[in-house]
A and B are shown apart, each in its own frame.
Chain A
Amino acid sequence: MSIEVTINKKSYTVDVPPETPLLWVLRDVIGLTGTKYGCGIAQCGACTVHVGSDAVRSCITAVSDVAKPITTIEGLDVDGNHPVQRAWREERVPQCGYCQAGQIMQAAALLDEIKNPSDQQICDAMVGNICRCGCYQRIQSAVRRASRGI
């Protein structure tokens, strides 16, 4: 079945069963591998992308259910200089880095909605994103830093 999606301002037509999760369409069909697989059941947040302005878990989002343009980590900022990305580098957040695309997309959606989130609001927004290396301390600092830069 042909399905049309807009990803990072480009249009794609993909031929997959409609229930195929957006994650695997992005990664395997289109080749945008910045969005990661971590659990497949919306428990870890590694697959987070934006649909419209909402952060969604692409691993449980059927591609046919996506009605708005999609933004992935590759399209968050054309130069990679979104305030959240800059803050992530300034705070030197990543260790292995695998979960960070999902963390960054989640944080960017939070700051899009709440310009100056409290620590509790940061915690509430980021609780669905697991980092097994344990970068949470710096994630919290980086979100605070980015909120000052938006």
Chain B
Amino acid sequence: MNIDSEQIITVHHLSKIFKVGFWGRRVTAVDELSLDVQRGEIYGFLGPNGAGKTTTIKMLMGLIYPSQGTAHLFGQPVGDRAAKAKVGFLPESPYFYDYLTSREFLRFYGHLFGLLGSMLEKRIDELLELVGMVHARDLQLRKFSKGMLQRVGIAQALINDPELVILDEPMSGLDPIGRKEVRDLIVRLKESGKTVMFSSHILHDAELLCDRVAMIMKGKLVACGLVSELIDHGTTQEVEMVVDRLSPEGIEALRPLAMKTVLHGERVMAILASQRQVDDALEILRANKAKLVSLIPHKASLEDLFIRKAKGVQQVVEVHA
């Protein structure tokens, strides 16, 4: 197998059905999900709240048993302890043993991996430095803010120098500075050769960081692939054009080309559906001796795709209902 395309996580038709309430009503949290994560990439696992992201991650970590399908880490079925030894995991909004100090906390997790003595102490120092928590190393976790807890949580996930790091909503609840720090940390992890999978409902972060993403809604995979491809293929690139002194005839000529035109005194704003209409629109401006004020392509984002997909899922649900 080519080392570049080695699959670290393989998920095949994975489903989880929960029984809820007194009558055991069946709720499908994850529905026939298939995806794979390659060595060395940053993989974004996106979806709105309640889409099944955490449930999927819990199945990968052996906290929940799948109802159907299979999931493998490093080629081993999930739950395999040798595979777990190569994974670091940060749960969503983590709660930790708050009677411990950062140092005791990390030492405890180190022991669970069989790390001991001066090697472990050195590793703890490095990690506290990495997440910027050296000042709070002897403070009990009960006195920590949410951002501080998230940081020691990340340190905890890295104690075993894992090959694969799985972070569940690592940016949620953090302020902009905290979020940027987590983003930088994820990039650093990738640079040091680690594979990172993280879930998020904040698409901007994913767009900045991820090589590939998977988007799930209501437990189903709705999009998956390279971020650039998804944006290009999944969304249209609109162009916003602002013009001054365009004659009424010119405005009439421009209307069929534009998706939308807005008049503001002498000024006209037109939204063109794609780059293809731009040349024709410029012809009209020249013919009418109008003045071009600005021409701005609207960069499509994952968010557009996300909203489109969300609407799609909603329609499908309505049709079936």
**A and B, one complex?**
no
Residues of A at the B interface (CB closer than 8 Å) are: none
Residues of B at the A interface (CB closer than 8 Å) are: none
